[in-house]
């Protein structure tokens, strides 16, 4: 299959690689060409614009950073929708605004194109190991058509409802992650202040009722002071902002999420916008004068 892929960042590179390994031909665009070199060296075709990718593909996947990036890729001067020759299906895997997912669906349908919003969870490890959770909104028939490709990238693939439902589901995921990451960081910070072996703490509580993917995977990175991004602080702040905006629009509040976002905003101000989410421990340390 001729597949378009736009976005070869921390997760997108591995995800596209799984499709390439399965024998599909990739048509690639990324703002920084060097980040796509691994795919290009293995036969991927480089294109200078999203429009060019779209005009040469049967289906196009996008996974970029921010809603503004999605807007530009789909609706910009050289965006996907600017070309007369369209793919049959568009799949945005960026964590973005539910309202934008609905807009993409409405505009693309006017040209006879199906679209899905399919954000993912699992970070760099899930992308690398093809174990991502993929939450999908859009037409069920279209979901069924794309499912074999989703299965090359993820382990848990769920159809959640109409356009925008995938993005709303990802907001539920990010709200839970926010609560879990602050809990993990405070737990390990407490351990360090009490003179305990932090890795030994992970080995115990990571197998009990407090176990989570986060404590068992990001916890050891915190202990090693490894703040390389599996998922960047900048992007997490964006996601939490979307969730808070959606909640406000619906007339309710999420005080826990608002607190965690404030701590992450302070962490970004310390220069850690491009660090991994586990770097939140540094905000706690600064708050406590460490």
Identified catalytic residue from 38, 141, 170, 224: 170
3-state helix, strand, coil in the chain (%, to 5): 55, 15, 30
Token readout for 143 is: 């979901």
- Mean pLDDT in residue range 207-231: 95
230: confidence class by pLDDT, cuts 50, 70, 90: confident
Residues whose CB falls within 8 Å of the CB of residue 139, separated by 6 or more in sequence, listed in order = 114, 116
pLDDT tens string 50-98: 999 999 999 999 999 999 999 999 999 999 999 989 999 999 999 999 9
pTM across the whole model: 0.93
Q: Rounded CA gap, 243 and 178, in Å?
A: 11
Pick the CATH number of 168-287 from 3.40.50.11440, 1.10.1040.10, 1.20.58.60, 2.30.30.90: 1.10.1040.10
3-class SS of residue 79: coil
- Mean pLDDT in residue range 171-190: 97
For residue 174, what pLDDT is reported?
A: 96
Pick the CATH number of 2-163 from 3.40.50.720, 3.10.28.10, 2.60.120.10, 3.90.550.10: 3.40.50.720
Ordered by start, the domain boundaries in the chain are 2-163, 168-287
Whether 170 is a known active-site residue: answer yes
Q: Rounded CA gap, 136 and 97, in Å?
A: 14
194: confidence class by pLDDT, cuts 50, 70, 90: very high
Look at the block and give the residue holding tokens 């995977």: 217
């Amino acid at each position: 299959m001729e597949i378009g892929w736009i976005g070869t960042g921390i997760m997108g590179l591995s995800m596209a690689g799984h499709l390439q390994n399965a024998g599909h031909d990739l048509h690639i665009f990324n703002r920084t060409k060097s980040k796509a070199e691994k795919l290009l060296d293995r036969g991927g075709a480089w294109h200078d614009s999203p429009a060019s990718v779209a005009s040469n593909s049967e289906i196009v996947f996008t996974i970029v950073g921010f809603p503004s990036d999605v807007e530009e890729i789909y609706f910009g001067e050289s965006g996907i929708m600017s070309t007369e020759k369209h793919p049959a299906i568009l799949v945005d895997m960026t964590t973005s605004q539910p309202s934008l997912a609905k807009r993409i669906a409405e505009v693309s349908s006017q040209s006879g194109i199906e679209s899905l919003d399919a954000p993912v969870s699992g970070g760099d490890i899930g992308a690398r190991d093809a174990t991502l959770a993929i939450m999908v909104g859009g037409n069920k028939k279209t979901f069924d058509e794309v499912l074999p490709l989703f299965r090359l990238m993820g382990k848990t693939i769920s159809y959640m409802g109409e356009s925008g439902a995938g993005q709303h589901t990802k907001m539920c995921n990010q709200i839970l992650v926010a609560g879990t990451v602050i809990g993990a960081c405070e737990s390990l910070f407490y351990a360090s202040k009490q003179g305990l072996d932090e890795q030994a703490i992970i080995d115990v509580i990571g197998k009990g009722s407090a176990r989570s993917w986060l404590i068992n995977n990001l916890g050891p990175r915190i202990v090693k002071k490894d703040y390389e991004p599996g998922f960047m602080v900048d992007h997490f702040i964006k996601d939490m902002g979307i969730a808070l905006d959606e909640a406000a629009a619906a007339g309710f509040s999420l005080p826990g999420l608002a607190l965690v976002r404030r701590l992450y905003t302070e962490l970004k101000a310390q220069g850690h916008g491009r660090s991994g989410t586990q770097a939140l421990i540094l905000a706690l340390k600064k708050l406590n004068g460490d």
